Amino acid sequence: MKISQLILRASMVLALGSMLALGLLATGTVRAAGRVARSDANNAFVRVVHAAPFDEHVDVFVNNGAQPLLTGFTFSNVSDYLPVAAGTVSIQVVPTGQAKSKAVISQSIRAQAGTFYTVAIIGDSNTQPGLVVFTDGTSVPADKSVLRVYNLSSDAGPISVSSGGKTVITRLAFKSASDYMTFSPNQSIFTVTVPNSRNVTLDAAFEPNMVSSVFALGLTTIVDSIGFKLVRNPTVAVPTALPTTGFAPPSSYGAESPSGSLYVLVGLAALALLGGTRFAFARRRTRFAPMRESASYSRVFRER
C-alpha cells in the first residue's frame, strides 16, 4: 500500500473518532442542560428595584437566609432576575452591614413557579417603607421592541408618556406599571410628562427583540442623586413561540451550540467516505490487476 493511501486512511479514522467523541460529549451537555431547565421549573424569578431615596445602601435577604441575596444595593439600581423557590417568599431589607433584626422592611410575597416578578423597594418621608410587586411577562414580535413604564416616584404624581405627539401611556399613578407597548426600534424618542414639573425626554437605543423596563424614580423636589430620574433596564424577551411567562434570566444552559446528533451525523458521513474510499481503491486494484499481469507476461516473453 502506498504511503499516500496510508495517510488518507489514517486521517479518515482520526476524523471519525473525533466526530463521534464530540457527538457523545455534546449529547451529554444537552442532557445536563435539560436537568437544569427542569429544576428551574420549580423556581420563580425576582428582579429587585431600589426605589427608596432615603435608604441608599441596603442588603436584601430572602427567606431569612444567612447571607444576603443582594449586598450594598444602592438607590436606582435594578438587579437581574434571580431564581427563588416558588411559594411564599419572605424578603427582608436591612441597612447595609446591620443585622436582620434591624430590617426596615420585612414582607412576604407569593411567587408562582415559572413566573417573573419585579419587586420594588419604596419608602421616603412621604411613603411608608415597603415592597411593591409587579408580575412581568410578555413576548416581542419579531424585529420589534417593547416598552413598559413603572411609576415609583412618590411625589411625581400620575405621569404620561407620548411619542410623535401621540399619548401612549396616560396618567400612570404611583406604584403602578403600564401595559406593554410594542413599537418599531426606530421609534425611540418618548416624552414623559410629570405634572407640576418638567417634561423628561426618553431617547435611548431601543434594541429589536428586547423589552425595555423604564422606572421613574426619585423625588421631583430634589436635584441630586435622589432626584427624579428615568432608569432603563433592557432584558431579552421570550421568543414568540414560547410561553409568555416572562424574560429569561442570564443562564449558561441557554447558550446555543451544535447538537450531539450533528456531530454523530458528521462522524457517520466520515465513515461512509472512508468506506467509499476503500471501495474505490479496491476497484482500482481489480481494474488494473489484469493489465499488470499482461505486462508481466509480455516482459517474460521478451526475455525469452
Higher pLDDT pick, 110 / 4: 110
Higher pLDDT pick, 290 / 174: 174
Give 217-230 pLDDT, tens digit per residue.
Answer: 999 988 788 889 99
What is the CB neighbour count within 10 angstroms for residue 149? 26
Compute the distance between CA of residue 120 and CA of residue 46 in angstroms, rounded to an integer: 10
Hey, what CATH topology would domain 137-238 get?
Immunoglobulin-like (2.60.40)
Higher pLDDT pick, 250 / 46: 46
Q: What pTM was estimated for this model as a whole? A: 0.67
Does residue 210 contact residue 234 with C-beta atoms inside 8 Å? yes
Q: Where are the domains of the chain?
A: 42-136, 137-238
> Which residues share a beta bridge with 190?
202
* 3 state DSSP class of 209: coil
42-136 matches 137-238 in fold? yes
Side by side, the strands of the sheet bearing 105-111 are 70-74, 57-62, 87-95, 105-111
Q: Does pLDDT of 31 surpass 90?
A: no
Q: Which CATH number fits domain 42-136: 3.40.50.970, 3.40.50.1100, 2.60.40.1110, 2.40.30.170?
A: 2.60.40.1110
What is the CB neighbour count within 10 angstroms for residue 193? 19
Compute the distance between CA of residue 148 and CA of residue 146 in angstroms, rounded to an integer: 7
Name the residue among 70, 115, 113 with its Cα closest to residue 91.
70
**DSSP classification of residue 249:** P
Mean pLDDT of the chain: 74
pLDDT at position 40: 66
Compute the distance between CA of residue 279 and CA of residue 237 in angstroms, rounded to an integer: 53
pLDDT at position 196: 77
Higher pLDDT pick, 228 / 244: 228
